[in-house]
Amino acid sequence: MLELNIEISKFIHPRKLLPVLLAPVLLPAAVATARADPLVAPPRYAVTVVGGIGSVAYDVNLHGVVVGQLAAGDTSHAFVYADGTLRDLDTGEGAASAARHVNDHGQVVGSIWSADSGRGNGFLYEGGSLNRLDGSFSAYGINNSGTITGSFGVAGADGFAYSHAYSYAGGVYTDAGTLIEEAGSYGYAINDTGAITGAAEWARGGNWPTNVILYQDGVLSDLGGFAGPWAYGYSINDAGHVVGSGTIENIGGNLYPRRALLYADGVLQNLGSLAADADSMAYDINNLGQIVGSAVTDGGLHGFLYEDGAMVDLNALIDPAAGWTIRDAQAINDVAQIAGTACKGELCYAVRLDLVSQVPEPGSWAMAGIGLGVVALARRRGRAAASSA
């Protein structure tokens, strides 16, 4: 049940440049406009739609390949978007599925839920083939060496099967263990050194509270949480920095607000939120230390980018005239492309946010140069004609 709650929380989970003026007579007007409003910054990101209505993007690799989940009638299908092409990873069994992570070699992991039992099973998609990971409940992360993490079932002494975080490589599962006996742990991400983060239950009881965990070199460590009972590690970069979310103190009525968290250099940090006393969740961190996630604002749930010690609403970094609202940011790669969900009105789509170049295309500069050359030539000819007269 805990794992289901985590999944729900992750669900709740263009380019604007001045027009290129080819006619040289219009160039002075463009310069005048720029001087008249020097404080207006151009957008940083453009929105690229990668899925249909109701789709969700969960990850983007270094080459801009996006994976996620498509709405498919009464169910959902994992998808891969690469080079402008969307591929539906429908198993043909009537089962629901979601692709959660893609490494830089294009290997994709995710989960399938049986149409009959609803039981989860991890999968690996590579080379055009989708294969179930027998024995797993889920697959959430894969590093560039092809090592996978997720959760699988381990029988407890009380006869129940508990979810344990695992590392999977070469057809072999390695159990990451748990913080206490007969309790659960969950692997959500793995970095290129093989370190895994996720969550593990630290006490028994009706709500099974969790803390952020780090599994490295065969040792499971408890990274803790905030004052509230639940904390999760959703991503880890190659420096071992972990991001996720944790609940803070009870504000009454068994309500525990969530805050984006960062664990780095032995310190667990509350990253705050976009609005006072509002929920926030950090979902990914790249190797540059940039963090993305989602936070509640007066306008609803918005995606954010956290860098240089500040959390910025992604909607402030796109062209408002395009009509998009960035509701969710799930992943950021090392060239700062972001995967998430954006909406126009009530219709929402999986998207990739691509950095907008602040420098005109080479062709634009060339055309502007040609235009200025024509103006200069005309002026020289005019002066020559006047002197000869």
Q: 132: helix, coil or strand? A: strand
- How many domains, the chain? 1
User: What CATH number corresponds to the domain at position 111?
Assistant: 2.130.10.150
pLDDT of residue 163: 95
Nearest to 250 by CA among 215, 269, 234, 226: 226
Whether 29 maps to a domain, the answer reads no
pLDDT of residue 159: 83
Q: What is the tens place of the pLDDT at every residue in 199-248?
A: 999 998 778 999 999 999 999 999 999 999 999 999 999 999 999 999 99
Could you tell me which residues come within 8 angstroms of residue 152 by beta carbon, excluding any fewer than 6 positions away? 122, 135, 136, 137, 163, 164, 166, 173, 175
Whether 25 maps to a domain, the answer reads no
Could you tell me which residues come within 8 angstroms of residue 212 by beta carbon, excluding any fewer than 6 positions away? 197, 198, 199, 222, 223, 224, 225, 231, 232, 233, 242, 244, 246, 261, 263, 268
Ranges of residues in the chain whose predicted pLDDT is under 70: 1-40, 116-118, 254, 358-389
Task: Tell me the β-bridge partners of 331.
Answer: 339
pLDDT of residue 307: 97
Integer Cα distance of 349 and 70 in angstroms: 9
Q: What is the tens place of the pLDDT at every residue in 127-185?
A: 999 999 999 999 999 999 999 999 999 998 888 889 999 999 999 999 999 999 999 99
Integer Cα distance of 103 and 236 in angstroms: 14
Residue whose entry in the numeric block shows the structure tokens 């609005």: 275
Strand 219-224: give its sheet, edge to edge.
185-190, 196-201, 210-216, 219-224
pLDDT of residue 386: 44
pLDDT of residue 160: 87
Whether 340 maps to a domain, the answer reads yes
Kindly state the tokens that stand for 342.
């954006």
Whether 365 maps to a domain, the answer reads no
Structural domain boundaries, residue 90:
2-16+45-358
Could you count the other beta carbons within 10 Å of the beta carbon of residue 353?
A: 29
C-alpha distances in Å from residue 51, one per residue of 66, 305, 311: 10, 22, 27
Integer Cα distance of 103 and 62 in angstroms: 8
Q: 199: helix, coil or strand? A: strand
Task: Tell me the β-bridge partners of 340.
Answer: 329, 351
C-alpha distances in Å from residue 386, one per residue of 373, 374, 379, 381, 389: 20, 18, 11, 9, 5
Whether 363 maps to a domain, the answer reads no
pLDDT of residue 252: 76
Kindly state the tokens that stand for 16.
């604007």
Specify burial of residue 371 (Cβ count, 10 A radius: 0-12, 13-18, 19+): middle
pLDDT of residue 205: 75
| 128 secondary structure, DSSP code | T
How wide is the angle at C-alpha 12 spanned by C-alphas 87 and 207, nearest 5°? Answer: 120
User: Is residue 261 within 8 Å of 244, Cβ to Cβ?
Assistant: yes
Could you count the other beta carbons within 10 Å of the beta carbon of residue 377?
A: 10
Whether 27 maps to a domain, the answer reads no
Whether 163 maps to a domain, the answer reads yes
Whether 386 maps to a domain, the answer reads no
Residue whose entry in the numeric block shows the structure tokens 């999944």: 7
User: Is residue 147 within 8 Å of 190, Cβ to Cβ?
Assistant: yes
User: Is residue 209 within 8 Å of 184, Cβ to Cβ?
Assistant: no
| 263 secondary structure, DSSP code | E
Specify burial of residue 245 (Cβ count, 10 A radius: 0-12, 13-18, 19+): buried
Integer Cα distance of 121 and 144 in angstroms: 22
